[in-house]
Structure 1
Amino acid sequence: MATLAELRVQIDAVDDELVRLFEERVRLGGQVGDYKIQNGMKIFDRQREREKLKDVAEKASTEFNKKGVQELFEQLMAMSRKVQYQKLVEAGALGRLPFIGVKELDTQNARVVFPGTEGAYSQAAMEYYFGEKCNSFYVRTFRDAMESIEEGAADFAVLPIENSTAGAVDEMYDLLVEFENYIVGETIIPITHTLAGLPGTELSDIERVYSKGVALMQASRFLDEHSGWQQISVANTAIAAKKIMEDKDKSQAAVCSANAAKIHGLEVLVDNINDDPNNSTRFIVVTNQKIFHKDAKKISICFEVPHESGSLYHLLSHFIYNDLNMTKIESRPVEGRNWEYRFFVDFEGNLAEPAVKNAIRGLREESRSLRILGNY
């Protein structure tokens, strides 16, 4: 029987041959890419790849090897496609993406919409991004804000998309798919909840607490200490504050910001009731124009994948091979197709960069329904 050292020498020799054959395969794949570009053919041929995987699997001697060979060739073909996509970039065949780069967003003359009412955290995010004197108005819901942009009543909307403790705002991801609106900016603000009531209210007076469901959850430890309080969800924290003032009932209180309490004439009964003192929310700035700042550094996209093994893995590899840093991934169910999902990905880059164009071309060809949600 050969010694371990002797076996390793043999493996090294096989590995050297594999490297040589790999480079030869990449070279031939590049020539295939040249042919496809010259003849206007698509890079990704799903049926051809399926036939190839079936063929190589039949040549393996055991079930274990069949599976291993298929996995190996899936990788080889994926890498070959990436070489061909790179050739498309070199040939200038990727063209321009349907977004226009601008030096600056026109924020001076813009009309901005935010959801909720005066004192909402969305208003605070809007004023932080656009300035306190911006021309703005509010609507009740996220959907109303998206419709305002689509209809041209507003140029921009400021909407929450992610909270540091509660996670993604699922409704916003669904609305980004439903509406033809695009992300052009973002801002992050701290979220500090207070318990607010009518002036002179005592904690012993309170029977019902109103707020947005997420805000109630973010203050759950404090609220649960008062087990007799009924917690009631409304559309927005500032709307909750407004309700308390309008109802003029000391048995009611709101979880809202200190600013919302002040605006609506309430008294802060207990300050800073967050479970997490570092609570913050990321807001996106959305418009109906396909534009991006020329210095933008983050891209958001969404796509669906074929409902088969390895499909998501192969799509995400486009970020690796183009040296793009993926910063976030979320999934949402696809309406009408049980147990199938749409993926939302954020990654670093600019739509003008060749590596980004290369990655998007590959993602577009190999996924279903790729959409660029914005570059900001």
Structure 2
Amino acid sequence: MATLEELRVELDKIDNQMVELYQKRMNVCREVGDYKVKAGRKVYDRQREQEKLADVASKVDNDFDKNGVRELYTQLMSMSRKLQYQKLVEAGALGRLPFIQIDSLEKDTARVVFQGTEGAYGEAAMHQFFGEDVNCFHVRTFRDAMTAIEEGAADYAVLPIENSSAGPVNEMYDLLDEFENYIVAETILPVVHTLSGLPGTTLTDIKRVYSKAEALMQTTGFLNDHADWQQISVVNTAIAAQKVVKDGDKAQAAVCSAYAAKIHGLEVLADNINDEPDNCTRFIVVTNQKVYLKHASKISIEFELPHQSGAQSGSLYDLLSHFVYNNINMTKIESRPVKGKQWEYRFFVDFDGSLEDAAVKNALRGLREEATNLRILGNY
């Protein structure tokens, strides 16, 4: 029986042969890429790849090796495609990206919409980005805000997309897919919640607490210490404060900002009730124009996995590998169900880069060919 050292020497010899064959294979793939550039052929031929995988799997005689050789050739063909995409991009065959680069947003003349009412965190985020003198108005729902910019009633909307403790705002991801609106900037707002009620209210008076669902989640520890309080979700923290004032009932309180409490005439009963002391919300600035700022450094996209009978578990990995191969830092991924398609999902990905970057163009080229319904949601 061979020793471990002898077996390792034999493996090294085989590996050297495999590396040499890999380089030969990639050289042929370069020639294939050159041909496709000249002939205007698509890189990705799904049927050809499936036939190749079936062929190589048929040449081994046990299930473990069949799965292994399929995985090996899946990666080899993936590397071949990425090389060919690179050649297509170098030849100017990326396809038109209908986004226009601009130097700055017209903050002084812009009309901006936010969701909620006076005192909402959305208003604070808007002022943080556009300044105190911005020409603005508010609407009741996120959908109303997206409709306002789509129809031209506003130039920009400032809307929350995720919170550091409560996670993503799922409705916003659904609306980004539904509307032809685009992200042009983001701003991060520190969030400090209070429990506020009518002047003279004490904690023992309270029976019902109103706020946005996410705000209730962000203050779970404090609220759960008062198990007899009923927690009721409304569309916005400032609207919760407004409701308490309108109803005039000391049994009601709102989770809202100190600013919202002040402008609506409430008294802060408990301050800084966040579960997380460094709680903050990321807001996106959205417009109906396909524009991006000159120094934009983050891109958001969405796509679906191509439908296959017996879909492979590696499908998502294959698509995300375009970021890895092009040395692109992916910063976030979220998934949402595709309406009308059971157990199928739409993926939202944020990654570092600009639409001007060659690496980004390479990755987008690959994703365009291999994903379904790819959309660039913004470069900001």
What is the TM-score with the length of structure 2 in the denominator? 0.97
Matched ranges for 1:350-369 at <5 A: 350-369=354-373
Overall identity of the aligned pairs, in %: 69
Look up the match of 2:319.
315
Match of 2:192, SS state, is: coil
- Which residue is 1:374 aligned to? 378
Deviation at 1:206, TM superposition (A): 1.6
Specify the SS of the correspondent of 1:265: coil
Tell me, in whole angstroms, the C-alpha distance in 2 between the residues paired with 1:194 and 1:94: 51
Cα distance per residue 1:166-210 (max 9 Å; x no partner): 101100000000000000100111111101111111222222111
Distance in 1 between residues matched to 2:118 and 2:90, nearest whole Å: 52
Q: Give the CA deviation at 1:272.
A: 0.9
Deviation at 1:89, TM superposition (A): 1.7
**Counterpart in 1 of 2:287?**
287
Post-superposition Cα deviations, 1:6-63, rounded to whole Å, max 9, x if no partner, equal: 2212111111110011011111111111111111111101011001111111111222
- Measured in 2, the distance between the counterparts of 1:232 and 1:345 equals 32
SS in 1 for 2:42: coil
Supply the distance in 1 between the matched residues of 2:306 and 2:106 (Cα, whole angstroms): 40
The reply to whether residue 297 of structure 1 matches residue 297 of structure 2 is yes
1:341 aligns with 2:345: yes
Q: Look up the match of 2:82.
A: 82
Deviates more, 1:108-117 or 1:216-225: 216-225
Q: Quick check: 1:324 aligned with 2:331?
A: no
Q: Secondary structure at the match of 1:306?
A: coil
Deviations 1:137-166 (A, max 9, x none): 000010000000000000000000000111
Root mean square deviation of aligned Cα = 1.0
Q: How far apart are the structure 2 equivalents of 1:370 and 1:337?
A: 17
Alpha-carbon contact 2:182-2:290 (below 8 Å) kept: yes
1:155 aligned partner, one-letter code: D
Q: Which amino acid aligns with 2:372?
A: R
Give the Cα–Cα distance (whole angstroms) in 1 for the partners of residues 12 and 216 of structure 2.
Answer: 62
- State how many pairs are aligned: 376
Tell me the secondary structure at the aligned position of residue 122 of structure 2.
Answer: helix
**Aligned partners of 1:68 and 1:140: how far apart in 2?**
55
- Counterpart CA distance in 1 for 2:341 and 2:30 is 38
Q: Distance in 2 between matches of 1:251 and 1:328?
A: 41
Structure-1 separation of matches of 2:63 and 2:208 = 64
Q: Which amino acid aligns with 1:169?
A: V
TM-score (norm 1): 0.98
Q: Which amino acid aligns with 1:62?
A: N
User: Within 2, Cα distance between the matches of 1:349 and 1:29?
Assistant: 28
Contact 2:89 2:365 in 1 (8 A): no
1:246 shift after superposition = 1.3
Structure 1 runs (4+) deviating above 3 angstroms are: none
| Residue type of the alignment partner of 2:369 | E
Distance in structure 1 (CA, Å) of the matches to 2:275 and 2:329: 32
Map 1:150-161; keep pairs closer than 5 Å.
150-161=150-161
**Deviation digits for residues 234-286 of structure 1, max 9, x if unmatched?**
11000011111111222211110000001111111111111111111100000
Counterpart CA distance in 1 for 2:95 and 2:213 is 45
State the Cα distance separating 1:306 from its structure 2 match: 2.6
Contact between 2:304 and 2:346, CA under 8 Å: does it hold in 1? yes
| 1:63 alignment partner in structure 2 | 63
Partner residue of 1:142?
142
Structure 2 alignment gaps of length 5 or more:
none
Secondary structure of the corresponding residue to residue 317 of structure 1: helix
Say whether 1:248 aligns with 2:248.
yes
Question: For the residues of structure 2 that align with 1:70 and 1:269, how far apart are their CA atoms?
Answer: 63
Report the equivalent of 1:223. 223
Query: Which deviates more from structure 2 when the two are superposed, residues 173-182 or residues 90-99?
Result: 90-99
Who is 2:24 aligned against?
A: 24
Give distance in 1, aligned partners of 2:61 and 2:233: 62
Residue 56 of structure 1 aligns with an amino acid whose one-letter code is: V
Q: Residue 3 of structure 1: CA displacement? A: 2.1
The answer to which of 204-213 and 291-300 deviates more is 204-213
Aligned equivalent of 2:212? 212
Aligned counterparts of 2:29 and 2:224: Cα–Cα separation in 1: 63
Q: Which amino acid aligns with 1:125?
A: A
C-alpha contact (below 8 Å) 2:43/2:85 kept by paired residues: yes
1:310-346 CA-to-partner distances (Å, cap 9, x unmatched) read: 1101101000111100001111111111111111100
Distance 2:65 2:216 in 1: 54
Structure 1 stretch displaced more, 318-327 or 90-99:
90-99
Tell me the SS of whatever aligns to 1:13: helix
Secondary structure at 1:126 match in 2: helix
Kept in 1, the 8 Å contact 2:184–2:293? The answer is yes
Counterpart AA for 2:49: E
